Amino acid sequence: MLHILKARNKMSSEKTEREPLFSLKNRKLITAPLGRDNPITVQVLGICSALAVTAKLEPAFVMAISVMAVMGIGNVVISALRNTIPPRIRIIVQLVVIAALVILVDQVLKAFAYEVSKQLSVFVGLIITNCIIMGRFEAFAMANKVWPSFLDGIGNAWGYGWILIVVAFFRELLGSGTLWGYQVVPNAWYIDNGGFYANNGMMILPPMALITVGVIIWVQRYRTKELIEEN
């Protein structure tokens, strides 16, 4: 009888123990999407925006922050409502949550970063159809608590965002000779001024975004052999 009571007390104490906010499990929710579970280079999701908004560094950065806000808050909302959402309309509810957050983000950009908002154009609205967000809502937020869902949203958004930023960095630098709109390649280097350099106009075309992402995927798989798919 004494052993039974001790076992019950041990079980109740384990239940009352709370998992640390940044436990190893929770930290992996943030760090895994940056590498081996990256939504773009491993899961091959969200490629469209990588092609569309990475000709310049500034709009790519703003897009990354926008997606992070939508995914972080959206995961929290879906996780908080997960037990009250009827299964038959869960996709509709998820779309409504995404649409509301995207409209809010779009209005904030128009109010405080109007020029960037014009550069992003319709692509902010297309966050609604970003398969990364819908995927995390369905695969994670609908089955987990609020805090892990928030970390999962932030982690996947940052994994998506850093790829956009890297692609935009090389496309703007090599295609326009600028970074964040500022000239970084000296004018004296250009052939027209007697130098040796000329901007590669192909880098600002959408196909070069796909090629740049492909190079990143190749480097990642070269360094991490476990990601190479078997034929």
pLDDT at 161: 92
- Compute the C-alpha angle 15/146/96, nearest 5°: 150
What distance in Å separates the CA atoms of residue 28 and residue 32, rounded to the nearest whole number?
Answer: 5
pLDDT in tens, 46-95: 787 777 788 899 999 999 999 999 999 999 999 999 999 998 999 999 99
What distance in Å separates the CA atoms of residue 105 and residue 126, rounded to the nearest whole number?
Answer: 12
pLDDT tier at 5, thresholds 50, 70, 90: very low
For residues 80 and 146, is the Cβ–Cβ distance under 8 A? yes
pLDDT tier at 12, thresholds 50, 70, 90: very low
- What count of Cα atoms within 13 Å lies in the side-chain half-sphere of residue 191? 4
- First and final C-alpha spacing in the chain: 58
Q: What does the mean pLDDT of the chain come to?
A: 86
Residue, of 31 and 44, whose pLDDT is higher = 31
- What does the DSSP 8-state code read for residue 49? H
For residues 198 and 185, is the Cβ–Cβ distance under 8 A? no
pLDDT at 47: 80
pLDDT in tens, 163-197: 999 999 999 999 999 999 899 999 999 998 888 99
